[in-house]
Amino acid sequence: MTGRSLARRYLHLLTGAILVAVAVAYLWMAAQVRLPPLGDPLGPRLFPMVLAVALVAFSLVFLAATLLRPHKGDDAENMPAQARAWAALALAAGFALILPHAGFMISTAIFALAALELMRFRTLPVNALTAVVIAGIFHIVFRVWLGVPLPGPAFW
Amino acid sequence: MDVFLNLLSGVQTAVSGGNLLFILIGAAVGTWVGMLPGIGPATAIAVLLPFTFGMDPTSALIMLSGIYFGAMYGGSIASIMLNIPGDASSVMSTLDGYPMAQKGRAGAALLLSAAASFVGGTLGLIGLTLIAEPVSRLAVKLGPSEYFMLMVFALAATASTVSGSAVRGFISLLIGLAIATIGIDLQSGSSRFTFGMPELADGAPLLAAIIGVYAVTEVMVTAENLVAGRWTAPQAIGKLWATKAEWMRVRFTLVRGAVIGFVVGLLPGAGGAVATLFAYSTEMRLSSRKEEFGKGAPEGLVAPEAANNASVSGALVPLLTLGIPGSSATAVLLGALMMYGIQPGPRLFTEQPVLTWGVIGGLYVANIVLLFLNVPLIGLWVRVLRVPAALMMTVIMVLAVTGAFSLSNSLFDVWLTLGFGAMGYLMRKAGIPITPMILGLVLSSTLEQSLRQSLSLSGSDWSVFVTRPVCLILLILTVLMILSPLLAARRKRRADTRPADDEVRPDV
Amino acid sequence: MTRLKIQCAIAVAAITMLAAPAVAQQGPDDPIEVLVGAGPGGGYDRLARSIQEVAEEEGIITETFTISYHPGAGGAVAWSMLNRNPGDAGKISIFSPNIVSGEVLGSGGPSFEDLTVLGMLVFEDGCFAVKPDAEIASAEALVDALQSDASQVRFGFAVSAGNQWHVAMAKLADAVGADITKVRSTVFDSGGKAVAALLGGHVDVVASGCAQFAKYHEAGDLKVVAVAAPERMGGVLTDAPTWQELGYDVVWGAWRGILGPKDISDEQIAWWEDKLRAVTASPAWKPVADENYWRTDFRGHEETQAMLESEREEYRKALQTLGLIQ
């Protein structure tokens, strides 16, 4: 098991490590849950703690299995592609951030343009037009027709 | 005979005075809205409720019920075409529906799903028409102890959705069970994992999780695959119709799924998600082709589809006979009724026969309307697969954000959804299945709380779980379900070791 | 020039002073938004809509009402959203005892002291219901059971531990001399499930708002054996005695009022007090209140503030007795 093959499996190892860490954190927090002086026989702590212990156990098994298993898959080669996935998420986060300030239509148009560019849809002008159309359609269907409250200032 | 007369008059109400138009509108709009990720029947009804203000209550209820049914049909379409369920009751449809579509059988999948929805809906309505009253009296006999055992049984059933590593399946399930513990504990009022934020006091909303791990994750995965050049368009659309063989395979599934859906739907503590789960796992246990499940087995699609439409009628049973909602969508209907000044209770059928039979009649009509609405559109839906992925994903992401916001008019839910999206992505990459997590989220609260309720009420007496008859039955069923793969393997080994007949028997 | 300016200034000042009372009585900006801290159809929603309907019908409030839903934490999510607009008297919400019980339990969300309490409108006194053919089928039977062996009494309620119905049972236990901590209490996550549990014989008694039980009492499927109110309820519940009639001083239940963000001016507070008082005193209000089994008893800003302070202490003591907090 070389360092290189470890790097190739980094995503599985990362996930396994995150799982273990989260499970331990969950266990710790579960132990802190306020126990009322009186109450039902099991109390609010038992169930989460049982789950936490099980989760810690299973994630350790998962991590161990990942470390010991013969290498399969090509995580490292895919890093640039994976970066796109995270970029897509980041764009969505940006969308959520500007929504309350720029209003629905504008934010949607900006986001849609960015997303289409990211996924290499068509040329920039075509993407921009598509983005505006998407924003418009959404606005009409959701705001005007369904009257669903949308984030952001009233009109846009 | 009484019942038939009532039903006829109900249908008459449903098609007269513009109500037919309302059914049409409700069914169509419900289907469209139900297709949106995370917008299931409950949200669809809640969103479209304001349109019914000023309408006559009977007409309004008929339209809302049409929306309910429509949303069930619609949720399936997105599950099959995009692997993005409308809500928890469409989750099981993704397991076999999506693979079927990816293999070029999208038309068949949609047709089977529409047929299953129709049959499930019809059988459920017959149940509602004929046995609502006695069955609801029986249903209330199920208390916290029975619900706990039912949840345990459901947990055992979730194993049927996992085709890969058991360890990963368990991790997924545990994650779901754990996330649902976030919030203020029902029995004690203690805050668990809320970090002092009132937004988390009721826990992480199930729909935020569904939108996140299905829609957002799907967008992320597609973005990655598109750029890596790994994205493959689904196989060329094959025949739009299902083969005779497929129809033959599912003929009993339709009925079984409907019965299970109806029965589970009428329990106030269990809804569409649990109904579809039981339908799916029952089908799988009974099938001689288990290994096909999860890869596009028609039974795997038909069972949950029949179940979730039947569960609509099931959920209406306690609402109309006792005034107790049987699901989250019927809870919204209850709220609507109260807003119209109608207080549902044990005498709703006698006090408001026009309303109750009108709704039931309306559902029969809606069921037929939806069949005729959806089947011709299959050709259209199938073309969705040809929309360029980049465009589709962009639209889906906007839908996801909008849908998440509409849950409680809060951006907090949007952030939760994006968080779930990240989690879903990591899970997919690590080969950890998604379905058990969602099921864990659905089952966790009822599982934990009903156990504690039961122990509080029995005075810490654990024996109730074996002494109460229904609990005992459920316990036995659970054990059988856990053992069944082992039993099946044992049977298979015996069959393999038994020498072939023509080898041993001497020629005569 | 200067003289003209001074004259103008005096004129402006005079006009302003004359106009001042009119300005002081000016209400919040149109439209008024009611942030309902629960889903549609629930108790908060019904009060909001009732106020809207009656105010419109009687012409008491001419501004438009918009109702938005922000469910979560028993109302705390909606209340915490109010302070995003401090001083804005056009954003209001409905409060219930959750605002003090939540504070005592530490559930998160603002205290009423961080907001502006505008007025208390209605009381929803508690009804105690049993199943008619069960072992405990009357008020006497319930009291007997509590006194002889409280641990055999199974009590169910909704929707959160330590809420008004939980405390109502504790008050009853106290009045009859029983130990509430022995009673087998359990919480259901909705009123419907508590009723289902009672119908199925899984619990012996449920306490809730009377509207919850009215239809079942009428149909004979359940029986409201007593109400924790100062007077008997109307409608179909006129045959249910009050606990006071039966010799036990138990008057307890939910109450609902209106509050707004912090820093609302005194004039705006007075405006709301006037309007709400007028709404609850108007003839159109009575049928609405009766339908919902509400007891109307309007209290203004100061009085409500004081009431909430004392209720908070009551809940603190009650929750300690119940063993939910130290």
Buried-state track C194-232, b at ≥16 Cβ within 10 A, e below 16: bbbbbbbebbbbbbbbbbbbbbbbbbebbbbbbbbbeee
Please tell me whether residues A50 and A69 are part of one structural domain. Answer: yes
- Taking residues A119-133, what's their average pLDDT? 88
Asked whether residue A20 falls in the same domain as residue A59, the answer is yes
d(CA C53, CA B218): 46
Q: Give this complex's ipTM.
A: 0.90
Interface-testing mutation among B398, B413, B454, B456, with chain A (most A C-beta atoms within 10 A)? B398
What residue spans define the domains of chain B? 2-489
pLDDT of C282: 93
Asked whether residue A99 falls in the same domain as residue A132, the answer is yes
Minimum Cα–Cα distance from B453: chain C residue: C186
* Alpha-carbon span C46 to C44, nearest angstrom: 5
To the nearest whole angstrom, how far is the Cα of C13 from the nearest Cα of chain B? 46
Chain C closest-CA separation from residue B211 CA (Å): 19
What pLDDT, on the 0 to 100 scale, is given for residue B246? 83
Kindly state whether residue A154 falls inside one of the protein's structural domains: no
Q: How confident is the model at residue B507 (pLDDT cuts 50, 70, 90)?
A: very low
For residue B359, give both structure tokens. 């709704």
List Cα–Cα distances, C89 to B366, C49, C86, C92, C112, in angstroms.
46, 18, 8, 7, 15
Do strands C91-95 and C32-36 pair parallel, antiparallel, or not at all (unpaired)?
A: parallel
Candidate from B171, B415, B451 with C-beta closest to A62? B171
Chains that touch C (3 or more CB pairs under 8 A): A, B
Q: CA-to-CA distance for C210 and C212, rounded, in angstroms?
A: 5
Best A32, A40, A42, A148 member to test C by mutation, with max C CBs in 10 Å, is A40
Same domain, A26 and A61: yes
Smallest Cβ–Cβ distance between A36 and the set C68, C186, C324 belongs to: C324
Query: For B456, which of A40, A62, A84 is closest by C-beta distance?
Result: A40
Q: What is the 3-state secondary structure (H, E, C) of B360-388?
A: HHHHHHHHHHHHHHHHHHHHHHHHHCCCC
Same domain, A41 and A92: no
CA distances in angstroms from B317 to B58, B136, B209, C132, listed in the order given: 17, 7, 29, 23
The C-alpha atoms of residue B171 and residue B479 are separated, in whole angstroms, by 21
Residues in B 374-413 with any Cβ partner in C closer than 8 A: 408-410
The domain of A94 spans 80-145
For position C19, what pLDDT does the model report?
47
Cα dihedral: B287, B291, B294, B297 (round 10): -50
Measured CA to CA, the distance from residue B60 to residue B63 in angstroms comes to 5
Express each pLDDT in A39-92 by its tens digit: 888 999 999 999 999 999 999 999 998 888 766 655 555 677 888 899 999 999
CATH superfamily of this structure's domain C125-237 = Periplasmic binding protein-like II (3.40.190.10)
pLDDT band, very low/low/confident/very high, at A156 (cuts 50, 70, 90): very low
Q: How far is C323 from chain A (nearest CA, A)?
A: 5
Chain C residues with CB under 8 Å of A40 CB are: 186
CB contact (8 A) between residue A36 and residue B190? yes
Please list the residues that pair with C59 across neighbouring strands: none
In a domain, residue A155? The reply is no
Tell me whether residue A153 is in a domain: no
Confidence class of residue C131 from pLDDT cuts 50, 70 and 90? Answer: very high
Could you give the CA distance from residue B216 to residue B210 in angstroms, rounded to a whole number? 9
Pick among B133, B145, B184 to test the C interface (most C CBs inside 10 A): B184
Q: Check: CB of residue B80 under 8 Å from CB of residue B112.
A: no
Q: Where are the beta strands (DSSP E) in B67-203?
A: 183-184, 191-192
B261 with B310: CB under 8 angstroms? Answer: yes
Q: What does the pLDDT look like over C97-113, one tens digit per residue?
A: 999 999 999 888 899 99
In DSSP notation, B150-178 reads HHHHHHHHHGGG--S-HHHHHHHHHHHHH
- Checking if the pLDDT of B402 tops 50, the result is yes
Q: How many residues does chain A have?
A: 156
Do both A45 and A107 map to the same domain? no
- What's the mean pLDDT in A3-31? 83
pLDDT digits (tens, 9 = 90+) for C181-236: 999 999 999 999 999 999 999 999 999 999 999 999 999 999 999 999 999 998 89
Q: Does C287 touch chain B (CB under 8 A)?
A: no
CB contact under 8 A, C325 and A36: yes
Confidence class for position B33, pLDDT limits 50, 70, 90:
confident
- Gyration radius from chain B CA atoms: 23
Q: Which residues contact C131 (CB under 8 A, 6 or more apart)?
A: C137, C198, C199, C201, C204, C221, C222, C223
pLDDT at C296 over 50: yes
Q: In the numeric block, which tokens belong to residue A43?
A: 């109390």
Q: Which fold has domain C32-124+254-322?
A: D-Maltodextrin-Binding Protein; domain 2 (3.40.190)
The answer, yes or no, to whether residue C21 has pLDDT greater than 70, is no
Cα of B200 to nearest chain C Cα, Å: 8
- Identity (one letter) of the amino acid at B412? F
- pLDDT band (50, 70, 90) for residue B388: confident
Phi, psi of B238 (to 5 degrees): -85, -150
Q: What is the percent of chain C with per-residue pLDDT over 70, rounded to a whole number?
A: 92
